[in-house]
Amino acid sequence: ESVEEGFAKDGIVATSTGVIMVIEMLDIGSFVSFSGFTFFIMLPYELFQGNTEGQCGSCSNDRSDDCRKPNGQKADSCSESAIYWQVPDINNPYCRVQPTTPPTMSTTVPTTSVGATPTPTPCSFPSPLCQLIISDTFADCHKVLSPKKFYDNCLIETCQSFNDSLSCLYIDMYASLCAANGACADWRSKTEGKCPYLCPKDKVYAPCAPIHPQTCENGLTHEQNDHVAEQCACPEGSVLFSSHTGLCVPECGCMGPDGSPKPPGSKWTSNCQECTCDPLTISIHCKPQDCPPTIHDCAKGYMPISVVNSNDRCCPKITCVCNTSMCSNEKKICEAGFHVASISYDGCCGNITCEITEFVCLVNGSVYESGMIVPGKSCETCTCSSVTDPATKRNVVECKPVTCNTDCPMGHEYQIKPGECCGNCIQVACIVIINGTAEILEPGQTKEDNCKQYKCEPKNNILVLVETIERCPFFDPDCNPDQIEWTQNGCCKICKQIPDCKPYKNQTLIRENECVSSETVELTYCGGTCPTSSVYSLKEKAFKHNCNCCQEFKTHKKEVTLTCLNGTTIISDYLYVDECKCKSECNFEAPAS
């Protein structure tokens, strides 16, 4: 993107005065200027010492290592060293220049004034233009930059060419470097018009103008330490409007939408708004542009719309366009039983002519073709027949009583609903298939077959056949064949337990308080297994428990003598089991002997 006057972005400020381009990097205090023939670089020593170098030398404040050749040797001048740094380019063979030794000539500074007339002999006396470099015009510059090399090179070019433009070029180079070092000189006024600096009509030449001049943007201020350069500046009594427009204005005003200056109190129209530059606040006030009132009187079927006015795009004009939706609904469509015979247009809206539709049935505003079912009275079926009524030219509707189907599937019965012509088949029982035969199962009734139980139960207002499969208890595969039996319903095998309930003997000492028997006494108890089962009953829908316990059946009482610690004896009795049996009622109370 091309920028004419310069720009500022990310801490970098680029400024153009027309001849000199200046780049400033504010964060690192760097300043670079280029005039097309000379460039000047200023870097802060505290930031760049010992870490920055280039073809002109290193940042060391030591000129002994400046303008070196590629082999490290110091050249007599930077102009001479530049030739050694050329890069070969086969596309530009004319740029291949071999280092040459400048011709020897006297560079003694004469004492004649600038205005003195030189002797016509070529190069016998210095050029008046070149002499400006060593004149008092550049007295301040001599203190910061030696004029010798510039003066010598100016004389060399003057001897080889009689054109003043080269002399002006060397003066310009010296003046540019001087200005970059803070020493500005008004030298062009001393050249009698031989080195002009042309400016546009609205600007004047300024030899030492700041590169960041006062503008309406920055509040008519500029930096105190701003660099200067020759450029075209605004004449006295005017000020630069902005850095990017380059326009001079007699006084600061507002900035228009296109970036152009607007004088205080001026008015303009922009983007359909009337704007004014307030002379007191120098601010823009805008309001929508006033448009004349629009009057429209559109005919029937037409609607007003806004269209662009070629004379004033901000104020649209009203045009009437046809919109059929705004036409009258009368005769827009034909009523039921009629069809459109013809259409005629009157400007925008159309008028239709309707004719009767023959050979159809018209019932309650609806049209039915021959053979179609037509809504009729309750308990009758109506159809549109093919018989035409000669009077109406429409078909006749024929109705017949409704025939009810009273056949219901098994488990259902036909029931008539009040207010309806026909009843419905209502489920009243469940159907179960046993041995290939369908049987009716009433609600709540159960049926057993092949170890399965079926029951008809109501769920969610319907009857559902619930099937239950009997689950057999665990069967020991190692069961003795003599003990295998089937359950009562013949569905499950069980291992029948053989009772082995009998008395067992045990020898022990009998103790009572601090007394004990003198020898072991034989005690008996009942032990062994008895038939016990828990079988699910489909009929009862619960488990049936058969519990038997091995208990004493016959006992008698015995006595034993116990010897106490104090030497006395006591008699103690106990029960002796004679016989054991399995009993269905388990209890722990010993029967009377």
**pLDDT tens digit sequence for 385-409:** 999 999 889 999 999 988 888 899 9
Mean pLDDT of the chain: 82
Q: Is the pLDDT of residue 109 over 60?
A: no
Q: Is the pLDDT of residue 319 over 70?
A: yes
Q: What does the pLDDT read at residue 220?
A: 59
Question: Which structure tokens are listed for 490?
Answer: 């013949």
Least confident of 123-127, 172-176, 258-262, 419-423: 123-127
Give the CA dihedral 87, 88, 91, 93, nearest 10 degrees. Answer: 120
Q: What does the pLDDT read at residue 589?
A: 54
User: pLDDT band for position 110 (50/70/90)?
Assistant: very low
Q: What does the pLDDT read at residue 114?
A: 38
User: pLDDT band for position 104 (50/70/90)?
Assistant: very low
Residue found under tokens 């010296």 = 174
Residue 152's closest CA among 79, 207, 81, 219? 79
Residue found under tokens 């008092």 = 136
Q: Is the pLDDT of residue 322 over 90?
A: no
Q: Is the pLDDT of residue 243 over 80?
A: no
Residue 200's closest CA among 171, 238, 251, 256? 238
61-83: average pLDDT: 78
Which position has the higher pLDDT, 31 or 503?
A: 503
% of the chain at pLDDT higher than 70: 87
Sign (positive or negative) of CA dihedral 536, 537, 540, 541: positive
User: pLDDT band for position 488 (50/70/90)?
Assistant: confident
Q: Is the pLDDT of residue 302 over 50?
A: yes
Question: pLDDT tens, 56-68?
Answer: 778 887 777 778 8
Q: What DSSP line would sit under 33-83, residue for residue?
A: EE-SS-EEEE--HHHHTTT-EETTEESSS-GGGSSB-TTSPBPSSHHHHHH
Q: What does the pLDDT read at residue 329?
A: 65
Question: pLDDT tens, 551-561?
Answer: 888 999 999 99
Q: Are strands 493-495 and 502-508 parallel, antiparallel or unpaired?
A: unpaired
98-106: average pLDDT: 46
Q: What does the pLDDT read at residue 271?
A: 87
> Cβ–Cβ contacts within 10 Å for residue 33, how many?
23
569-580: average pLDDT: 90
Least confident of 147-151, 221-225, 268-272: 221-225
DSSP structural state of residue 518: S
* Residue 452 CA: distances (Å) to CA of 439, 465, 580: 15, 12, 41
What whole-number distance in Å separates Cα of residue 17 and Cα of residue 7? 12
Which position has the higher pLDDT, 100 or 197?
A: 197
Q: What does the pLDDT read at residue 13?
A: 78
Q: What does the pLDDT read at residue 361?
A: 93
Helices (H), 143-196: 148-160, 164-180
> Cβ–Cβ contacts within 10 Å for residue 459, how many?
8
What whole-number distance in Å separates Cα of residue 443 and Cα of residue 454? 11
Q: What does the pLDDT read at residue 536?
A: 72
